Chains A and B, each alone.
Chain A
Amino acid sequence: MSLLEIEGLTASYGPVRALHGVDLTVGAGQVVALLGPNGAGKTTTLRAVCGMVRTTGTIRFAGRDLAGTAPEKVARLGIGHVPEGRGTFGSLTVAENLRLGAYGRKDAAAVRSDTDEWYSTFPRLAERRDQQAGSLSGGEQQMLAIARALLGRPSLLLLDEPSLGLAPLVVREVFAVLGRVRAERGTGMVLVEQNAALALELADTAYVLEAGRTVLSGPAAEIRTEESVRRAYLGY
């Protein structure tokens, strides 16, 4: 059974329709790259999965229909979301942000050891654990957002532009961590990314959206060599 199956998805913001028919499948432990120009509906697709926009069509997560499910319930079903703009709780401390990531969990001891593990993965978060999260740099906030989402132990992680605005070295670090998470925990991921080359390195399969529709899909290695993708998103 696939982890996430999306078929014929449409979504609207008020009278404006943003998605016109998106199809997408994520297998268990798979990383899927979602590519496309600005305004193609990548962010909206992620938001639709989390119940943040009105949709039609089917979204099935682990066999369960997600239609009409509230965002907080979706989160508890095991979908982590690193949203556009990182969703930092700016006036709360780094430690409090991480505690919120484990909000739905009851296993306090395991949460503590998971938290310590994230502190050793991102030592900069450990150094700043009592600082207000709003005072962190963009890269640190991205690390915080990823650690926070993964502290909920999701089986599916949605990432919206994790490389946006980060220094190249930090981008490498973040993607190395994502690769390790996939390898060690088998967490499935949907990765929306402007940096297509980077996304296709990590991804197993890729989908290209244009104007709210899936226009191309296939194994990442094939998509990478696809003429149109190469020109539009890889720039050579």
Chain B
Amino acid sequence: MERFLQVVVDGIADGSVYAALALALVLIFRSTGVVNFAQGEMAMFATFVAWALADSGVPLVLALLGALAFAFAAGMLVERVLIRPVEGGNPLNLVIVTLGLFIVVNAAAGWIWGFTLKDFPQIFPGGVAEVGGVSLSVESLGIIGVLLAVVLVLWALFTHTGIGLAMRAAAQSPASARLVGVPVGRMLMLGWGLAALLGALAGVLVAPRLFLDTNLMAGVLVYSFAGAALGGFDSPLGAVIGSWIIGITEGLAGTYVDAIGSDLKVLVPLTIIVGVLLLRPSGLFGSPEVTRA
């Protein structure tokens, strides 16, 4: 039983990392209608920034905050410079821009920092904490705590502040938002900045568990996709719960199903993506698209 709970908690922690990136995907999807395929690579780049800062002697906390700030600014810049010219046109153009960005950011990170594996400093203390008689990893609990805090902040931002309301309005109906005086362009920029920040958070949370290299987020992106698809691409709550489900099932399947083990774990999210697309394309919490004939 203790083993089972450990696996579940570790699964929720993994799921929380996926959830941070899935939230970034959902944020962009809601405002532009497309998935930002470069979200993971942007996160990887920001994680490298954190590593480089820490490596050059900056205290870890400041290095992490610096990387998040960098991601926020870079996300806004990407929207302003690369996305704005193709926004509102054919969605395919936007998709292609994000794919191009994927390749460029990946190559740039390799060009700057090389392709060898880097050891990312631990953010949370190692070891275990006793919770109700069960030994749980402090790191897992820390990651879950960080994600819950992020969800709370996002919820407050979007439901209790004028700027959050304006961002939702701009995402839902840009034309109407402009007519009441909402600067839609600035809201989109802010959305991209926020998404990049969430992605960077996923990056620095997962990096200590893996080694840091330019392919850091490739796996995470797949799981985040699965989480967002399961929860519904237009639902932030769905993205979090979907990602947790992915994390837990991935952990349980890897631990208890011998045939899967750690090598075939990635089949779990892929199976879920296919299943969701077949059975409930709008996801658990998503709203199905309604078109009037």
Answer whether residue A70 sits at the interface, using C-beta atoms and an 8 A cutoff.
yes
Most chain A CB inside 10 Å of its own CB: which residue of B177, B181, B182:
B181
Name A151's closest neighbour in chain B (CB-CB): B180
- Report B-chain residues with C-beta under 8 Å of the C-beta of A162: none
Which of B165, B168, B176, B181 touches A87 (beta carbons < 8 Å)?
B176
Q: Which of A32-40, A100-108, A193-201 contacts B (4 or more CB under 8 A)?
A: A100-108
Which of B168, B172, B175, B181 touches A103 (beta carbons < 8 Å)?
B181
Which of A90, A92, A104 touches B181 (beta carbons < 8 Å)?
A104
Contacting A at CB under 8 A, from B139-178, are 162, 165-166, 168-169, 172-173, 175-178
Question: Within the assembled complex, what's the spacing in Å between the Cα atoms of A8 and B51?
Answer: 61
9 A–B contact pairs at CB < 8 A?
Answer: A71-B179, A72-B177, A81-B179, A87-B173, A90-B172, A90-B173, A96-B168, A100-B182, A103-B166
Contacting B at CB under 8 A, from A54-107, are 70-73, 75-76, 81, 83, 87-92, 96, 99-101, 103-104
Q: Does A88 lie within 8 Å of B176, measured CB to CB?
A: yes
Nearest chain A CB to B135's CB is how many angstroms away? 44
Type the 1/0 row for A164-185, where 1 means its CB is closer than 8 Å to any CB of B: 0000000000000000000000
Which of A71, A91, A149 touches B172 (beta carbons < 8 Å)?
A91
Question: Within the assembled complex, what's the spacing in Å between the Cα atoms of A96 and B162?
Answer: 10
Question: Within the assembled complex, what's the spacing in Å between the Cα atoms of A103 and B172?
Answer: 16
- Report B-chain residues with C-beta under 8 Å of the C-beta of A213: none
Q: Does B165 lie within 8 Å of A100, measured CB to CB?
A: yes
Q: Does A70 lie within 8 Å of B178, measured CB to CB?
A: yes
Name B174's closest neighbour in chain A (CB-CB): A71
Question: Within the assembled complex, what's the spacing in Å between the Cα atoms of A88 and B169?
Answer: 10
Extra pairs beyond A72-B181, A73-B181 (15, CB < 8 Å): A75-B178, A76-B181, A81-B179, A87-B173, A89-B169, A91-B172, A92-B169, A96-B168, A100-B169, A100-B177, A101-B180, A103-B166, A103-B180, A104-B180, A152-B181
Question: Within the assembled complex, what's the spacing in Å between the Cα atoms of A50 and B184?
Answer: 15
Nearest chain B CB to A97's CB is how many angstroms away? 9
Type the 1/0 row for B175-194, where 1 means its CB is closer than 8 Å to any CB of A: 11111111110000000000
Q: Does B172 lie within 8 Å of A87, measured CB to CB?
A: no
Q: Does B169 lie within 8 Å of A83, measured CB to CB?
A: no
Q: Does B165 lie within 8 Å of A71, measured CB to CB?
A: no
Known: A99-B165, A103-B162. A72 touches B183 (CB 8 A): yes
- Report A-chain residues with C-beta under 8 Å of the C-beta of B173: 87-90
Contacts across chains A and B counted by CB atoms under 8 Å: 67
A-B CB proximity, top 8 nearest: A87-B176, A75-B181, A71-B178, A104-B181, A81-B179, A76-B181, A72-B178, A103-B181
Q: Does B179 lie within 8 Å of A87, measured CB to CB?
A: yes
Question: Within the assembled complex, what's the spacing in Å between the Cα atoms of A83 and B233?
Answer: 29
Nearest chain A CB to B260's CB is how many angstroms away? 39
Nearest chain B CB to A149's CB is how many angstroms away? 8
Q: Does B180 lie within 8 Å of A83, measured CB to CB?
A: no
Nearest chain A CB to B55's CB is how many angstroms away? 44
Q: Does A83 lie within 8 Å of B181, measured CB to CB?
A: no
Q: Does B178 lie within 8 Å of A100, measured CB to CB?
A: no
Q: Does A148 lie within 8 Å of B180, measured CB to CB?
A: yes
Q: Does B179 lie within 8 Å of A83, measured CB to CB?
A: yes
Question: Within the assembled complex, what's the spacing in Å between the Cα atoms of A27 and B183?
Answer: 29
Name A83's closest neighbour in chain B (CB-CB): B179
Name B186's closest neighbour in chain A (CB-CB): A72
Known: A96-B165, A100-B166. A72 touches B182 (CB 8 A): yes
Nearest chain A CB to B193's CB is how many angstroms away? 19
Known: A92-B169, A100-B165, A103-B162. A75 touches B180 (CB 8 A): yes
Q: Does B175 lie within 8 Å of A52, measured CB to CB?
A: yes
Nearest chain B CB to A228's CB is how many angstroms away? 33
Known: A99-B165, A100-B165, A100-B169. A152 touches B180 (CB 8 A): yes
Q: Does B176 lie within 8 Å of A75, measured CB to CB?
A: no
